[in-house]
Amino acid sequence: MNNELSFKPEILAPAGDAERAYIAADAGADAVYFGLEDFSARQAAVNIKPSQLSELVKDLHQQGVKSYVTLNTILYDHELPKARSYLDHCINAEVDGIIVQDLYWLLLFNELQPKLELHASTQMNVHSDLDLEAAAELGYKRVVLPRETSAAQLKNWSSKAQELDLETEFFVHGAVCIAVSGRCQMSFAQGGRSANRGSCAQACRLAYQLQSPQGELLDQGALLSAKDQSLLSNIPLFSNLKINSLKIEGRMKDAAYVRATTSAFRKAVDYWTETEDKTLFAKFAAEQELQLLQVFNRGGSFSNRSFVLGKADQHITGDIVGSYGTLFGLLENTDYRKGTLSFVPDSDLRSNRINNPSLSNTLSKLKPKDLIAIRRKNQQIAVAPIGTVIEENNLVIIKGFHPQKLKKMRAGDQVFLLQNQELNKIIEQNSKSKLQLSLKLKINADKLIIKAQTRINQKQIVLEKTYLYHEYEMVSQALTEERWSDQFSKTGQTNFELKQIEFSYCDNSKLPPFRISDINQLRREIIKLLEQKVADNFVKERKPFIPNQRILKLTNKIIFEKSLYSNAAKKKEPAEEVKKKTLYSISNPEIFTSLDEIDLKNIDQIELSLLFLSNPNKTANLFDQIFQLKSEIEILIRLPEIMQSAHIELFCELKKRYQNNPQIGFSANGLSILTEKQYSGKLKQINEQANVINS
């Protein structure tokens, strides 16, 4: 084993407010992501006020934790000035990066060239080598890969990203979307609440009916509600692929969830890089995932269907779409007069399937204030915190439910544990993560030199400070090395924990007879100075954003054209009329067999999906048929939102074949629309899926 060769990914934790940001840092996060009051894809979260930003970022930096601000909604024209002011707040607060969707941020970065990173949100749907190449060319530092990415895709894209010097960030735990990242329109279609505007109503969690073409009811319930994903057991793979950041979903989750998930992934990454033993790690990961399952899950288990391309029936929650908990037992009887219910505990929880005896005991015992639910065939009967609990004759007897709820319960109903207070306490006690402090005290005849070291993101931070004896009032007898060590270990509520302390002596010198109060003051000063040096480390090596010349020209052109339109409006001059074209979109390849039935008289452009085209020769025959019907018509080949390798090969072949034909071009929507070389002048349309809603 060679730990120097182990790649240690960043643990990126969610924070819905400042309190949870501090909890994430305390639990071992390398970085925290959060939104501001506007332009965040989680508008329902408390989020951070711009006035809070500087203090929060400073505190996180002193703990060795990076901060990323999510500004990942699409923007309207009237919002652009406020968006620019938000970027100013981020620059002044010295945040480490922003996670964005709208292309306006790219224009701003090219104009202002700030010293912070630009990350492409998963909402940008970076889903192909073309998109990765475009992101790198345009200046994005990192791409957040879609949650639905498979293991095979992750291997290919991480390799491609490394070739491009582009960082990768990947969701490893939490909720997944049933649709393609950044492309879901269900919430907007049903209630006018757009996910791309930060107000997803989670339409996928609602109940639906599945009917046959004849109207026969085939299924009903929460048919589109996906289970949460947990990929903690795949940390060895992520380390091997050099995935830069492991992202935990959950800005809407509570503090207990943030602490538990962050702590679990912190421990797992550290355990793997220390041992690199797959057998030991598998056991460790199973134990951690059992705790995570109790903290929050949907549907009774985690899913990795997208990652390993598993069966769909293992991916759907069932009708309980919120916190599912874990099965704890079966109801035996109730007594509404006494306010009690009795149940038989699940035998698996009493078995030795959990290697950790302490954890096994915690998960198999109920205590007052634990939250339980009673269910029958996926129907929630009641939920309540436990008042009292008694174990008697292999039965658990509890109080806490209202008599009217007890009357609805039946023998055989399932008892689920939703919240385990004891487990939350244990996680909190065991999740305290501090920076490891190493001290070297060099004792001279007239001075004391203290060298303090800590490690941030596998980088050593070193501080050296000299203290002259004549500046201190000495006592009659010097303290021992042990007493000095004791005083320096009292780091209290600071961000540091003393790992080791060494003493060295020059020319037979001895420890100076400092007062205890002065030794304590040395400790406080060293820690304060080192905290500042840790914070400065995040900023001093930053480089300005390198502008893309094509985007700079585009930005200047936009500014120039806006000024022309503005001046024309002031002079009440008529605006230049835009020539409109009528487009006919073919939505079904079966139409190809009856092209002559389409009235193309008033049609200027015909659009068809690349997905409908099988090979270049057949495509050429199809295009000939269209031109025979109308020789001057334009053909737009619509590129799919998700470009697999076969699609890219066909795209490149068609681009090459029709390079000199001005009537054939492409319709696209990804990041690549801003890169000239991707299309060689053949991009004719930026379609509606680009989510461009500002000028």
Q: According to the 3-state scheme, what is the secondary structure of 51-71?
A: HHHHHHHHHHHHCCCEEEEEE
**Among residues 2, 26, 4, which one has the least CA distance to residue 13?**
26
What confidence category does residue 207 fall into, taking pLDDT thresholds of 50, 70 and 90? Answer: very high
- pLDDT band, very low/low/confident/very high, at 183 (cuts 50, 70, 90): confident
Burial of 603 (0-12, 13-18, 19+ CB in 10 A): middle
pLDDT exceeds 50 at position 630:
yes
Mean pLDDT of 592-599: 90
Are residues 366 and 375 in contact, defined by beta-carbon separation less than 8 angstroms? no
Query: pLDDT for 502-524, tens place per residue?
Result: 999 998 899 999 999 999 999 99
Q: What confidence tier does 681 reach under pLDDT thresholds 50, 70, 90?
A: confident
Residue 567 has pLDDT above 60, yes or no: no
Q: Rounded to the nearest 10 degrees, what angle do helices 104-112 and 549-570 cross at?
A: 100
Note the pLDDT of residue 397: 95
| Under 8 Å between Cβ of 182 and 143 | no
> HEC string of 94-107?
CCCEEEECCCHHHH
* Separation CA 669–CA 692 (nearest Å): 9
Nearest CA among 181, 169, 289, 291 for reference residue 226: 181
Q: Phi and psi at residue 633, in whole multiples of 5°?
A: -70, 150
Specify the residue for token string 């806490």: 400
Give the neighbor-by-neighbor strand order of the sheet with 496-505: 459-468, 447-456, 435-443, 496-505
Mean pLDDT, range 607-629, rounded to an integer: 92
Predicted confidence band at 361 (pLDDT cuts at 50, 70, 90)?
low
Among the listed residues 423, 512, 513, the one whose alpha carbon sits nearest the alpha carbon of residue 476: 513
Residues 6+ apart with CB under 8 A from 350: 364
Coil, strand or helix: which one is 380? strand
Confidence band for 350, pLDDT divided at 50, 70 and 90? very low
Closest CA to 442 of 462, 461, 465: 465
Task: Determine the Cα–Cα distance for residues 214 and 223; give it in Å rounded to an integer.
Answer: 19
Name which residue leads in pLDDT, 310 or 227: 227
For residues 111 and 113, what is the distance between their CA atoms, to the nearest angstrom? 6
Residue 501: beta bridge partners? 439
pLDDT for the residue numbered 182: 74
Give every CB contact of residue 389 below 8 A, 6+ residues apart in sequence: 366, 367, 368, 370, 396, 397, 398, 399
Give the tokens for residue 317: 């929650």
Residue 3's pLDDT is 46
Partners of residue 583 on adjacent β-strands: 605
The neighbouring-strand residues paired with 383 are: 373
Mean pLDDT of the chain: 90
